[in-house]
Amino acid sequence: MNNLFSFAEQCLFEADIEQKLAITRQAGQLLVEKNLSFQDAGQILPIARTLFPARPQLRMPRDMPRRRLDSAAGKAAFFHALAHIEFVAIYLAWDILYRFRGLPEDFYRDWLRIAAEEAEHFSLIRRHLLRFGVDYGDLPAHAGLWSHAEDTAIDVLARLAIVPRCMEARGLDVTPGMMDRLRRADDQAGVDILARIYQDEIGHVERGSYWFNYLARQRGLEPEQKYKELILEFYQGKPKGPFNREMRIIAGFSNNEIDWLEACLHE
């Protein structure tokens, strides 16, 4: 009863969206009430068994249409893509705390809070999406997001480097520009949603940075060097820029790490 890892297993290995959101909210409330058990619940199921809803239809990035904001259909496609990112982010937060055991309890508290925030982000975007007569699942979505979890399922340092400190950190770079596009498209409600998400994502990346550095040092590794090694090993292609140095510094990156990322663009 009220075991964190049992909640995680329900979220990851059941496909129903509403159940997933309800479980995440319930676990988050139990955390606030200090009525959640962190006792190891036994066998960890393979990541390949993770279940996703039957919809949306998943496509490769090259097969996804470009999303313009000069029409209602374009805005719907834009927010559907964001909803999918936030929906997969719920899985990513649950999986990192489910898959990697024996870590400090604060690690699990942090990622449960992040899962709850990702669920709230998804719900905010989904409600906005419904204004355009479209629900999540009605349009195709990007198939590549979950692959980063599958690629890093054996090492928490790799997961932290690639998900919060690479993919999620990219949101710190691009979200201000997305907000500007929505302002020009006269969608202030959409701007407000992205502003809320942006502030939370800074904290998510910061937690990723904190735990990456903590666990790397615990293994006797130099964190900045290990981060570079893991990016080169697990990220296909060059990291995408430009980089929002100010926000990345707030989120736990060092100037040296950002300098290295920028140098990668020109190699």
pLDDT by residue for the chain (267 residues), tens digit each? 699 999 999 999 999 999 999 999 999 999 999 999 999 878 999 999 999 999 999 887 766 667 778 888 999 999 999 999 999 999 999 999 999 999 999 999 999 999 999 999 999 999 999 999 999 999 999 878 899 999 999 999 999 999 999 999 999 999 999 999 999 999 999 999 999 999 999 999 999 999 999 999 999 999 999 999 999 999 988 788 999 999 999 999 999 999 999 999 877
To 10 degrees, the CA torsion angle through 231, 236, 241, 244?
-40
Question: What stretches of 75-170 adopt beta strand conformation (E)?
Answer: 141-142
pLDDT of residue 63: 67
- Range 67-73 contact pairs with CB under 8 angstroms and sequence separation of 24 or more: 69/181, 69/182, 69/184, 69/185, 69/187, 70/185, 72/132, 73/132
- Distances from the Cα of 160 to the Cαs of 77, 88, 207, 212, in angstroms? 29, 16, 9, 6
Domain locations along the chain? 72-265
Residue with tokens 């040092």: 217
pLDDT of residue 69: 84
- Range 187-196 contact pairs with CB under 8 angstroms and sequence separation of 24 or more: 187/69, 187/75, 189/128, 189/131, 190/75, 190/79, 190/128, 193/124, 193/125, 193/128, 194/82, 196/121, 196/124
Angstrom distance (rounded) from CA 27 to CA 112:
8
Helix (H/G/I), strand (E/B), else coil: 58 = strand
- CA-wise closest residue to 2 among 25, 40, 35: 35
pLDDT of residue 267: 75
Residue 152, CB-side half-sphere exposure with 13 Å CA sphere: 26
Report residue 208 CA to chain centroid gap: 11
- Kindly report the CATH class assigned to 72-265: mainly alpha
DSSP letter (8 states) at residue 37: B
Angle (nearest 5°) at CA 41 between 10 and 24: 30
Angstrom distance (rounded) from CA 25 to CA 119:
8
Q: How many helices (H) and strands (E) does the chain have?
A: 11, 2
- Distances from the Cα of 91 to the Cαs of 99, 122, 155, 217, 244, in angstroms? 11, 12, 17, 27, 26
- Token readout for 251 is 């989120």
Helix (H/G/I), strand (E/B), else coil: 111 = helix
